[in-house]
Amino acid sequence: MRRFPGVVFATAFLFLSTSFSNAVAWDEYWPGADYDPSIPTVENILGHESGEQITWHGEAIRYFEALAAAAPDRVAVFEYARTWEDRELIYVVITSPENMARIGEIKDGMQRLVDPRKTNRAAADAIIANQPAVTWLSYGVHGNEISSTDAAMMTAYHLLASRGDDTVDAILRDTVVVIDPMQNPDGRDRFIHHFEMSEGLEPSADLMSAEHNEPWPGGRTNHYLFDMNRDWFIMTQPETQGRVRVIQEWYPLAYVDAHEMGSDSTYYFSPEARPFNPHLAKDQTDSLELFGLTNAGLFDRFGIDYFTREQFDAFYPGYGASWPSYYGGIAMTFEQASARGLKVRQYDGNIMMYRDTVRNHFLTSLGTAQTVAQNRKKLLDDFYNYQVTAIEEGSRERTRSYIIPVQTDQAGADKMAGLLVQQGVEVERATAPFKACGNSYAAGSYTINLAQPRKRMIRTLLDTSVPIAEDWLAEQERRRAKKIRDQIYDVTAWSLPLMMNVRTDACGRAVSADSVPAGPELVQPGSVSGGAGKVAYLVPWGTASAVRFAANGLRQGLSIKSSDLAFTHNGTRYPSGTLILDVADNPADIAATVAQLAASTGADVVAVDNSWVTDGPNFGSNNVVRFSAPEVAILWDSPTASYSAGNTRFVIERQMDYPVTAVRVSTLARGDLSRYDVLIMPESREGYAGALGEEGVAKLKDWVSRGGVLISIGTANQWAADPNVDLLSIRREDAVVETDGDGDGKKNGGGSDAGGDEPLEPTVAGSIVSNDEEYKALILAEKGSPDSVAGVLVKANVDPDHWLGAGVASDLNVLVRGPDIYTPIRFDKGVNVAVFAQADELVASGYMWEENQKQMAYKPFAAVQPNGSGFVIAFTQDPNVRAYLDGLNVIFMNAIFRGAAHARPVR
């Protein structure tokens, strides 16, 4: 709790004075430091010493503003974005007065070094001779990893207040230090709010105490419950978008993402663990040693434990410790064991104080800046060479260009191109038809030549797969055979064309076509062809743009119908799901409304003057349904998985423009469900059984039978498909157990120990084990889940005859994670609308255990089970993970809009 008798007044007084009388900072961070009293300490401004309290977002902003006021020649504060909850995101620039006076020139120097096509070697050498190196220190992307923001404040103070310190002088002279003190202020303040509510007479070191255990949702994530340390290349969140923009203004040579890990640990810094992403340059992975050695020296000096290399790899490119390295700098993660409060008792009885954790991040922050200062020229040379070799590789490797053709899901193609442009990739848009690698492409196709500085980023984001070192994979298989957990830290597949289901062709030659540079827009405005329609407006289905058109149209009260089947009108073929807006059923200004919606959502609309269909259903057919504006609820709070709940809500609300009511699971039992048309059950780790009970099951079954649409996502199906719940008749499978070597003696692992009424014998029959294989068979578990999969993109085929598949691509790429595999639904119970492909065609990208591949083939991804007047719709894997599986948007939104349109609620 705050203890501030009189301090508020003292702070106000001190803030007005130019010298801070009580200026000796708590100096255990750097014993013997001589600090300038004209620079305010944390205590001067906030009333607590560094590390004595967990500093709120607003307080930290106040402190950095005070530093800027005290030393305007050496500090500048910049706002780079706002969070969903309107907190400001800032970065703080600290350097010598001489460098500060030429900040524009320094940024310009990096802008020139990043492009060797404009800056030759001699020009680069001239820049490098006079160019400070930029160090970027980022803190607290996970809001409940608290120590780093306080370390950011102390780092800034130390750099500005130290006197007679050669290291600090060299850092200010030879580098620019950029501090992003809080990447996730919404999450941080959420943590502190809960923490301070739980505090008592004195801070508790007990990990059981309320202050060490956050309620749902913890402070790790941002407002929409995203892990922003996975969001870098997909930039779904405003916080990430701001960072991506400013990093390309500065091009830091070293980027640190400071985290915390579990309390029973020490400290982790680079070198990072294997596997390395093969698209990192060797200079980059080699330089990790430099930083590691400096930090190790500091930790040795203070007698602090640490570890390196065993954990936290840089294979996935969406981490803060990976993404910035695709510009040529060095990116690293640092991890401090968390106090998750003001003190904690570790497993060995050691009491770790919050200030210890702040001090450790402070030390590695200084160590990083020091390493950059000592290696200024080398790092700048490496940065320039990185661009040179990237261009050179892009002009001789097998893949020399990527082409994104004009396609059915043009909204997806436009968004992917825009995402790449926002990250600095040069993308062109053809203004005339062209040929490349034996194919003809229409005007409007996007082309990306790889002979450009971002070549390695392009390859890691667009290649179908990124290979993992064979020996490392062999080690994972060895571990798995012994049932030791694998060391794969995140997903093994993230190919943008697969995730967005956007056709993208690799070509072995550079493309030459008449073209203009593509812009950063994610949505290209749609248009209305055919003028003002006399009879109707048609919106072809199958894109996120069309879904947004429907969502906004329904919110504005428009009358919208949709054809479940494809049809032909006036010689044009319209896909199943196409929206039909009858002029007669809509307001008089429908033409203007449709034009405005087309422009804002990106949907292309066709105005028609008659209803005559030459093939397929007419507009008044029973195969055409009227959309309602469904009331959509999502289960919220414990025991839902916060990522799944938040990310799903985000997709519906912010990517598809439709509002969702978040309903706490605890409220569901006593509430009246009849007000909702659709209820979404996100994933849940603990499962829903305890929270919903038998009463909840009965209530949901009754609601579905009366016309409700229940959408069950990923692990929520463990509950819905449990025979004791039986909302779904699919069943979760055990691992297939191979009972003999040649593979044809398979049995399902389940249910083999039914003992009946026989009395149990005290002993079992003897056995002779004569080889390894027999031994392994003997110790196999009789029953158990398939092995867990880290994250693989897997193909699923879509049934075009069912309304859930209307307008959906014929095959989808699904991110499979975890061990769950379900039986297909039987004909008499429902329809398997999306089914995983056969085993040898299953994996689109990533590394999947062979047994899982075999067992997952032909199992359902999406199944619809009618029940009375409503439906239960199961997605056996989460289609909304990280809001980055755009290729699954249409089938998921079909579940909401078409599910509600096909249900026949009892009203």
Residues forming the site for Zn ion (CB under 5 A): 142, 145, 259
Identity of the residue, 259 or 732, whose beta carbon is nearer to Zn ion in the bound complex:
259
Amino acid type, 363: L
| Angle at 11 (CA atoms; ends 9, 12), nearest 5 degrees | 65
Strand arrangement, sheet containing 88-94: 75-82, 88-94, 175-180, 133-139, 254-261, 330-337, 267-268
The pair of three-digit structure tokens given for residue 590, joined into one six-digit string:
């429908």
Our CB check for Zn ion shows the closer of 255 and 402 to be: 255
Structure tokens at 490: 């995140």
Tally the C-alpha atoms within 13 A of residue 823's C-alpha that lie toward its C-beta. Answer: 17
Question: Taking the complex as a whole, how short is the minimal distance between the CB of residue 848 and Zn ion, in angstroms?
Answer: 27
Of 218 and 870, the one with the shorter C-beta distance to Zn ion is: 218
Residue closer to Zn ion by CB (options 141, 536) is 141
Q: How far is the CB of 492 from Zn ion (least distance, A)?
A: 20
**Given the complex with Zn ion, which of 195 and 441 has the nearer CB atom?**
195
- Locate 727 and state its tokens: 């909302």
Q: How far is the CB of 530 from Zn ion (least distance, A)?
A: 53
Question: Whole-number minimum distance, CB 229 to Zn ion, in Å?
Answer: 6
Of 645, 715, 630, nearest in space to 883 by CA: 645
Scan for tokens 């985000």, then name that residue. Answer: 650
Alpha helices (H) along 787-902: 850-856, 889-902
The nearer residue to Zn ion, 99 or 237, going by C-beta atoms, is 237
Rounded CA separation 283/295 (Å) = 19
Q: How far apart are CA 153 and CA 68, in angstroms?
A: 12
Question: In the bound complex, what is the minimum distance in angstroms from residue 365's beta carbon to Zn ion?
Answer: 16
Q: Which is nearer to Zn ion, 230 or 859 (CB)?
A: 230
By beta-carbon proximity to Zn ion, the closer residue of 268 and 383 is: 268
Q: How far is the CB of 457 from Zn ion (least distance, A)?
A: 23
* 183 vs 718, beta carbon nearer Zn ion: 183
Minimum gap (Å) between residue 141 Cβ and Zn ion:
6
Shortest reach from residue 145's CB to Zn ion, in Å: 5
Q: Closer CB to Zn ion, residue 142 or residue 795?
A: 142
Smallest gap, in angstroms, from Cβ of residue 545 to Zn ion? 35
β-pairing, 446-449 with 505-507?
unpaired
Asked if 887 and 696 count as a contact pair (C-beta separation under 8 A), the reply is no
Which residue, 145 or 409, is less far from Zn ion as judged by CB? 145
Please give the Cα distance from 872 to 865 (Å, whole number).
5
Give whichever of 142 and 212 is closer to Zn ion, judged by the CB atom. 142
354 or 537, CB closer to Zn ion?
Answer: 354
H-type helices in 213-281, by residue range? 238-250
State the minimum distance, in angstroms, from the CB of residue 356 to Zn ion: 18
Residue 335 C-beta: closest distance to Zn ion, Å: 7
At residue 249, the 3 state secondary structure works out as: helix
Is residue 757 packed enough to be buried (19+ CB in 10 Å), middle (13-18) or exposed (0-12)? exposed
First to last CA, the chain: 53
Q: Does residue 648 sit in helix, strand or coil? A: helix
Min CB(217)–Zn ion separation in Å: 15
257 to 152, 190, 229, 364, 788: CA distances (angstroms): 12, 20, 9, 11, 28
CA dist 251 and 682 (Å) reads 39
* Least CB distance to Zn ion at residue 836 (A): 33
Q: What's the rounded Cα separation, in Å, for the pair 484 and 685?
A: 21
Least separation in angstroms between residue 182's CB and Zn ion is 13
**For residues 259 and 376, which CB has a smaller minimum distance to Zn ion in the complex?**
259
> What DSSP assignment string belongs to 270-312?
SSPEEEEPTTS-HHHHHHHHHHHHHHHHHHHHHT---B-SSS-
Residue 145 or residue 878: which is nearer to Zn ion going by CB? Answer: 145
What is the SS3 assignment for 691? helix
Shortest distance, CB of residue 144 to Zn ion, whole angstroms? Answer: 9
Q: 155 to each of 95, 161, 340, 372, 602, how far by Cα in Å?
A: 13, 10, 21, 15, 46
- E strand segments, 558-674: 561-563, 567-569, 572-574, 579-582, 605-608, 613-615, 624-626, 632-636, 661-664
The residue nearest Zn ion at its CB is 259
Contacts of 305 (CB under 8 A, 6+ apart): 266, 267, 299
Of 321 and 583, the one with the shorter C-beta distance to Zn ion is: 321
Kindly state the smallest distance separating residue 642's Cβ from Zn ion, in Å: 15
CB under 8 Å to 218, separation ≥6 — which residues? 144, 187, 190, 191, 642
Strand 515-517 to strand 624-626: parallel, antiparallel, or no bridges (unpaired)?
Answer: unpaired
User: What is the residue type of 713?
Assistant: I
Give me the least distance between CB of 258 and Zn ion, in Å please.
Answer: 9
Of 344 and 890, CB closest to Zn ion: 344
> Which residues are within 8 A (CB) of 766 and not within 5 positions of it... i.e. 6 or more apart?
none
Whether the upstream peptide bond of residue 271 has omega within 30° of 0, thus cis, is yes
> By the 8 A CB rule, do 267 and 306 touch?
yes
Shortest gap between Cβ of 38 and Zn ion (angstroms)?
36
Cα–Cα distance measured from residue 692 to residue 342, given in angstroms and rounded to the nearest whole number? 36
Q: Which is nearer to Zn ion, 145 or 733 (CB)?
A: 145
